[in-house]
């Protein structure tokens, strides 16, 4: 009988310190895609033990960001602050089995220890003076009034190594690692320790996270081993840099996922962009979340830092905007349209306008701004229009007015334009440009036949007549 395949369980474990960063969102996405690919579970764990920095608002910002992206966890959110008893329990077990011990060093003593080591040209590290064997050997007595910390008894020799799913084999000598504090003097567990207990209890099979955590991994593996837990697979993702090659930060523009939402990006565009940022599937640039699930494994994750390309994200967003029908876009932009000096309830139907303008928009905000051109009455006269009304043009426009089609469609309007131009022996811009200025007050509009189809016969006729002085 073959043994059942290991259940894949990944987790995204953000520390809520402000917002969901695009780097965090990418990690979450890869964890999600990895679990989905193998039919496993994706777990959300909120690492909220840093009481100074974790706020309910910051937790909500993460939940909102995940929900907006549609990265729904199969389990969780679990909150570390709600697991304190469990951490204490494990610390008690470790103290009992001797894999952890109380250390009574005061800060002043630790400073002196480091000072002395530096003076001897050594790397500063805790010297293990309160290890149980030293207590016995030196007959140490716990000093009065010092609340001890609890330290993990790290192995003294050998290597701690793992086959990183992204970076390949990594090995660290245990001599490099000193005895990590796992509980502070007030009894609260420390960061690395909570991560270990959670990864163990939550039966995480794959820890996929940013490579800023790579230094924590050997410590976490040692503690897991001391607890007799199964060590998960680790995969460390390279950082995301800005276009200038520096670590992505606010300086480069939006780093918060919800800022992209506010700026008018679609979740599918940001997901597609983040998926491709640090992972590839041949030359595919545009793919759905379904395809990502099918394709995503760690093999094709990049080993080097990714560079955030705002232009490419805009291009993708435009692609996804173009996929949306006008009525959906109209709904999405309605709260974003700032009706200053115009009203969208008077004029063409917003879905029609969205359908026409979506190709040109990079964001929903662009679209919300652009629609204004359909609801604002253009000026009666302008220098630009006067210039275009050169000899023969007013007659041409008049002829077009007389040739307006019965059936008010872009195709019929285009045919009518072509017919009057052929008659006059003139070229398309001679008619299209003045019409754009008369009807929209600008020359950068979509194709004018389509614009007229949306504006409607009445508005088209009135605006042209008024501007011809008729």
Q: Which residues bind ligand GLU (CB under 6 A)?
A: 13-15, 47, 195, 209, 213
Contact predicate 289/268, CB 8 Å:
yes
Pick the closer one to ligand GLU by CB: 224 or 354: 224
Nearer to ligand GLU among residue 305 and residue 332 (C-beta): 305
Q: Which is nearer to ligand GLU, 47 or 366 (CB)?
A: 47
d(CA 318, CA 265): 9
Residue pair 259/232 in contact (Cβ under 8 Å)? The answer is no
Give how far Cα 242 sits from Cα of 248, 255, 263, 300, 305, Å.
Answer: 5, 10, 18, 21, 10
Buried b (16+ CB within 10 A) or exposed e, 264-273: bbbbbbbbbb
Please state the closest distance from residue 69 (CB atom) to ligand GLU, in A: 17
Of 345, 280, 354, 353, nearest in space to 322 by CA:
354
- Minimum distance of ligand GLU from residue 122's CB (angstroms): 30
- Contacts of residues 246-254 at CB distance under 8 Å and 24 or more positions apart, as own/partner, are 248/22, 248/23, 248/308, 252/308, 253/310, 254/22
* Closest distance of CB 13 from ligand GLU, Å: 4
From the CB of 213, what's the least distance to ligand GLU, in Å?
A: 5
Q: Which is nearer to ligand GLU, 219 or 436 (CB)?
A: 219
Euclidean distance between CA atoms 384 and 417, whole angstroms? 21
- Please say which residue, 24 or 347, places its beta carbon nearer to ligand GLU: 24
Residue closer to ligand GLU (CB basis): 30 or 279? 30
Torsion of CA 42, 276, 310, 308, to 10 degrees: 80
**Is 138 a known active-site residue?**
no
Q: How far is the CB of 24 from ligand GLU (least distance, A)?
A: 7
Provide the sign of the torsion angle of the four alpha carbons 398, 404, 410, 411, taken in this order: negative
| Residue 206 beta carbon to ligand GLU: minimum distance, rounded to whole angstroms | 11
Cis bond before residue 77 (omega within 30° of 0): yes
Position with the least CB separation from ligand GLU: 209
Cβ-proximal residues to 263 (8 Å cutoff; 6+ apart), any chain:
254, 363, 365
Interatomic CA distance for residues 404 and 459, integer angstroms: 13
Least CB distance to ligand GLU at residue 97 (A): 25
Decide whether 192 or 317 has the Cβ nearer to ligand GLU.
192
Q: Cβ of residue 447: shortest distance to ligand GLU, in angstroms?
A: 49
CB 43 within 8 A of CB 11: yes
Alpha-carbon distance of 10 to 376, in angstroms, equals 53
147, 247, 250, 418: the catalytic one is 250
Kindly tell me which of 127 and 201 has the beta carbon lying closer to ligand GLU. 201
- Residue 42 CA to residue 45 CA, distance in Å, equals 10
CB 236 within 8 Å of CB 211: yes
Angle, alpha carbons 181-125-165 (nearest 5°): 70
Element (DSSP H or E) covering residue 172: strand 168-173
* Residue 360 backbone phi and psi in degrees, to 5: -90, -10
Catalytic residues: 250
């Amino acid at each position: 009988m073959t043994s059942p395949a290991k259940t894949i369980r990944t987790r995204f474990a953000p520390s809520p310190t402000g917002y969901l960063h695009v780097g965090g969102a990418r990690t979450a996405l890869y964890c999600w895609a990895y679990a989905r690919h193998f039919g496993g579970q994706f777990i959300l764990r909120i690492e909220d033990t840093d009481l100074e920095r974790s706020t309910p608002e910051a937790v909500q910002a993460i939940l909102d960001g995940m929900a907006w992206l549609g990265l729904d966890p199969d389990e969780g959110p679990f909150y570390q602050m709600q697991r304190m008893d469990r951490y204490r329990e494990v610390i008690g077990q470790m103290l009992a089995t001797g894999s952890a011990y109380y250390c009574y060093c005061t800060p002043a003593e630790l400073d002196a220890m480091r000072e002395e080591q530096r003076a001897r040209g050594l790397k500063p590290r805790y010297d293990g003076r309160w290890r149980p064997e030293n207590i016995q050997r030196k007959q140490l007595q716990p000093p009065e009034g010092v609340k001890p910390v609890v330290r993990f008894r790290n192995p003294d020799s050998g290597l701690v190594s793992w086959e990183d799913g992204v970076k390949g084999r990594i090995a660290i000598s245990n001599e490099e690692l000193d005895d990590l504090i796992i509980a502070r003097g007030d009894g609260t567990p420390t960061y690395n320790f909570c991560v270990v207990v959670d990864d163990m209890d939550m039966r995480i099979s794959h820890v996929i996270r940013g490579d800023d955590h790579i230094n924590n991994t050997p410590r976490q593996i040692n503690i897991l081993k001391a607890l007799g837990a199964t060590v998960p697979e680790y995969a460390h993702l390279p950082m995301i840099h800005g276009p200038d090659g520096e670590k992505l930060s606010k300086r480069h523009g939006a780093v918060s996922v919800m800022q992209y939402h506010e700026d008018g990006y679609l979740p599918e565009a940001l997901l597609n962009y983040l998926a491709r940022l640090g992972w590839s599937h041949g030359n595919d640039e545009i793919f759905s979340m379904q395809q990502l699930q099918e394709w995503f494994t760690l093999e094709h994750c990049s080993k080097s830092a990714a560079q955030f390309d705002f232009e490419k994200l805009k291009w993708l967003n435009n692609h996804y905007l173009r996929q949306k029908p006008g009525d959906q876009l109209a709904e999405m932009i309605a709260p974003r349209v700032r009706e200053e000096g115009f009203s969208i309830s008077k004029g063409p139907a917003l879905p029609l306008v969205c359908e026409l303008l979506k190709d040109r928009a990079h964001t929903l905000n662009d679209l919300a701004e652009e629609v204004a051109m359909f609801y604002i009455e253009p000026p009666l006269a302008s220098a630009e229009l006067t210039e275009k009304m050169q000899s023969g043009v007013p007659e041409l426009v008049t002829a077009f007015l007389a040739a307006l089609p019965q059936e008010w469609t872009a195709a019929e309007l285009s045919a009518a334009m072509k017919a009057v131009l052929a008659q006059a022996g003139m070229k398309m811009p001679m008619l299209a440009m003045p019409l754009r200025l008369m009807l929209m007050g600008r020359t950068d509009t979509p194709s004018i036949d389509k614009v007229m189809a949306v504006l409607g016969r009445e508005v088209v006729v009135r605006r042209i007549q008024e501007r011809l002085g008729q």
